[in-house]
Amino acid sequence: MKYKLETIPVWDAIEQQEEPCLFCFLSAETEKRKVSFYLGNSVMNPETRVKVNSMGFCPDHYAMLAEAGKPHGVSLMAHTRLQETAKLLQNSLEEQNKAHSPRGVKKSADRINAVMDAREQGCLICESMERSLNRYLYTYIHLWHTDESFRETVSASRGICLYHYPKLLRMAPEVLSRRDLQEFCTAFSSLMQQWLKTTIDDVDWQTQRYKAEHAGKDWRGCEDAHKRAVYREIGKGRLKDS
């Protein structure tokens, strides 16, 4: 088995019928857990400090930590990390002191950019989210293949967003034999078409409902259909670097 099965969280998520998809819901949960981990006492742990210093966080997650209202741990991480960044920038800053021709200034800007780009590569939180997501995708396909009641729940579910759907497809050959893969592809191609149609029909009724001729009619649960349509495309709880 390539990944550890996460049967309970996947079942719980699909039964909650979260919009736009269970992987969005599960990823957002992982993100919350990891953000609170890096805001807690664990950052005092030397091993974690080393990791934070070398890999760090993507700009979105670093900002999320800074704005979380828990300054102590973040101050420790930021102090060590910014010292390291200052060291990495030292040469560029010294060269900049000497080069003031237009070409020299642009070169300095490029050099500083390159240091900062390299510094922003990788993210401890995105990396954990990706590892968890792979386990959830693997489990979803495994359950779909082995558990009839899960298969029925998938058919009745609100589906998967178009951000996570290609990730699910990419995972399928890791889980299924060639013969089972064909069954999976057939089933999910029609499921995805059905999920898209439902979302389109809902947002269509929302637009119709705004017309004078339909004033006062039942919303049929479509007051928020625009959000469902947007998130069906882009997903929620995305990895920040993808």
Burial class (CB in 10 A: 0-12, 13-18, 19+), 160: buried
Q: Identify the residue among 137, 161, 168, 225 touching Zn ion (CB under 5 A).
A: 161
Q: Identify the residue among 13, 14, 24, 172 touching Zn ion (CB under 5 A).
A: 24
Letters for 168-207 (x = contact with Zn ion by CB under 5 A, - = none) are: ----------------------------------------
Q: Does 22 bind Zn ion (CB under 5 A)?
A: no
Stretch that binds Zn ion, among 1-9, 40-48, 182-190, 229-237 (CB under 5 A): 229-237
| 92 vs 160, beta carbon nearer Zn ion | 160
Q: Distance between CA 158 and CA 173 in Å, rounded?
A: 24
In 3D space, the residue among 107, 115, 59 whose CA is nearest the CA of residue 90 turns out to be 115
136: left (phi over 0), alpha (psi -120 to 50) or beta: alpha
Stretch that binds Zn ion, among 38-46, 54-62, 87-95, 188-196 (CB under 5 A): 54-62
Stretch that binds Zn ion, among 21-29, 45-53, 170-178, 182-190 (CB under 5 A): 21-29
Query: What are the DSSP calls for 111-131, one per residue?
Result: HHHHHHHHHHS--HHHHHHHH
> Which residue's beta carbon is nearest to the bound Zn ion?
123
Q: How far is the CB of 21 from Zn ion (least distance, A)?
A: 4
Long-range pairs for 117-120: beta carbons < 8 A, 24 or more residues apart: 119/56, 119/85, 119/88, 120/56, 120/58, 120/59
Q: Identify the residue among 135, 158, 164, 228 touching Zn ion (CB under 5 A).
A: 164
Q: Does 21 bind Zn ion (CB under 5 A)?
A: yes
CA distances from 107 to 86, 89, 118 (A): 18, 14, 17
Q: Does 14 bind Zn ion (CB under 5 A)?
A: no
- Beta-carbon contacts of residue 1 (< 8 Å; ≥ 6 apart): none
Q: How far is the CB of 237 from Zn ion (least distance, A)?
A: 7
Q: Does 123 bind Zn ion (CB under 5 A)?
A: yes
Q: Footprint of Zn ion on this chain (CB under 5 A)?
A: 21, 23-24, 58, 61, 123, 125-126, 161, 164, 235, 240
